[in-house]
Amino acid sequence: MKLSDSTLLRQLCYINGQWAAADSGRSFAVTNPASGEQLATVPEMGADETRRAIEAARVAQPAWRAHTAGERAKVLRRWFELLLANQEDLAQLMTAEQGKPLAEARGEIAYAASFIEWFAEEGKRIYGDIVPPHHADKRVLVTKEPIGVCAAITPWNFPAAMITRKVGPALAAGCCVVLKPAEATPLSALALAELAERAGVPAGVFNVVTGDAPAIGGELCANPTVRKLSFTGSTEVGRILMQQCAPTIKKLSLELGGNAPFIVFDDADLDAAVQGAILSKYRNAGQTCVCANRLLVQEGVYDTFVEKLGVAVAGLRVGNGVDDGVTQGPLIDAAAIAKVEELVEDARSKGARVVCGGKPHSLGRTYYEPTILANVTPAMRIAREEVFGPVAPVFAFKTEADAVAMANDTEYGLASYFYTENLARSMRVSSALEYGIVGVNTGLISTEVAPFGGMKSSGLGREGSKYGIEDYLEIKHVCIGGI
Ligand code: ADP
């Protein structure tokens, strides 16, 4: 790992403005999925350290909240600029611990920074209302106030952006945060804390605790000081956290699993659809919650689409993300590749045709060949389960109604995509899809300016955009009488 500023590699947690080891002195290793090499160790913290971080956030909360939004925005602006100034180092760190190609890592740092800039500005526009009163001698004011101490638990697939799109709005709104990053990618989180400190984020306002997920998560959920939890990860863990938050009635934002349909109609621009499918399916080696999980292609163009997709997939290059020209890195760990192999095997055994790939890559470790499966049917597990790998299962459908029914036949409702050149169809289908995000003739839908979030078992709340800051606010009604 080549860093021009080696102080960005932090191997301690950040609590109350101090860099801290675990009480037990124990730590755990962070490894490079491309090579298995150990990169660093970080503290194995638990409930006690988490409780102290929450207490630090509680103490810091009144002063942070008392600043004007403009004052907070100045600090956040510096943090944003430091992310961009250190983009290359942060990208190197991310590729080393997560595996994605450097070009994607650089893109993620810019994307991560954009949330800080966006919310720094949005914080200035947390307007209330003056409501026409219900009695002549009353006045009704509605204000929005920071909810208080927030907890954030984030995944490894976007080690920086999943943090800033929670911490950005929280800090902008006047809340303090305790973050638990994923075990696989704590180095990006700690580098963000280092830059937050340099930007002038006061002690206790942003804290990072690494270690035992159930112990730290248990404390974050049970502690009554924490008023809100924002989580991105699996639906399974989201359910556990929701239950654990019930006793203290915390506000929740949950960005959970998806099972994104990618529909190609007969009247689509097939070349554009192939390009979109490549971006949506193979980015980050298929390890994003908005990755196309099911390609639904209308009968008339099925064979042509599969053939064109095969040509495009042949152009992908698998390898270590730091090497030039690599477009697909390794999967995150052995469990990830085992899941991909299991789902591909299940599909194959039930009659799917392997168009290309279909097996681990000759590079070994957790590298997997970019794969296309044809003749996939709803009876196969891959129709219901998120593959989270570089495998595109292609289903056939007959009519628009069939496509919509198949697309909605899942417990999930995060991202969906479809390609058509027909305006009326694009309006009909986008309103029929039970998804929080609909990409029409595009495979890339993530941006800080638009709301990101899911329906059904994909979660609660929205991140990014003017809506994203609402999750960190409480509404207060002030009723003034005797006027
Ligand atoms: P993924 O499949 O992306 O690894 P997870 O839901 O397992 O999804 O992990 C997302 C985040 O949730 C990670 O930071 C992980 O450490 C954390 N996590 C996992 N289990 C728990 C738990 N029981 N309590 C709190 N956090 C957890």
* Model pLDDT for residues 109-158, shown as the tens digit of each residue: 999 999 999 999 999 999 999 999 999 999 999 999 999 999 999 999 99
Banded pLDDT at 279 (limits 50, 70, 90): very high
Average pLDDT of the chain to the nearest whole number: 98
Residue 42 has pLDDT above 90, yes or no: yes
The predicted pLDDT at position 334 comes to 97
Ligand 1 mean position, distance from CA 31 (Å):
18
Look at residue 297 in the predicted model and tell me its pLDDT: 98
- The pLDDT value given to residue 135: 97
From 255, 386, 400, 448, the catalytic residue? 255
Q: Per-residue confidence at 248, pLDDT binned at 50, 70, 90?
A: very high
Task: Note the pLDDT of residue 363.
Answer: 97
pLDDT in tens, 169-224: 999 999 999 999 999 999 999 999 999 999 999 999 999 999 999 999 999 999 99
CA of 458 to the centre of ligand 1 (A): 15
Of 237, 289, 333, 414, the one to substitute when testing ligand 1's pocket (max ligand atoms within 8 A of C-beta) is: 237
Going along the chain from its start, the domains and CATH numbers come out as 6-256+458-478 (3.40.605.10), 261-440 (3.40.309.10)
pTM of full prediction above 0.95: yes
Residue 373 exposed, middle or buried by CB count within 10 Å (0-12, 13-18, 19+): buried
Q: How confident is the model at residue 2 (pLDDT cuts 50, 70, 90)?
A: confident
pLDDT of residue 159: 98
Gap from CA of 69 to ligand 1 centroid (Å): 32
Residues 455-472 have a mean pLDDT of: 97
pLDDT at 1: 83
> What residue's CA is closest to ligand 1, atom 11?
155
User: Residues with beta carbon inside 6 Å of ligand 1?
Assistant: 153-155, 180, 182-183, 213-214, 217, 233-234, 237, 240
Q: Is 255 a catalytic residue?
A: yes
Using the atom order of ligand 1, give the atom closest to the CA of residue 236: 6
Q: Whose CA is nearest to atom 18 of ligand 1?
A: 213
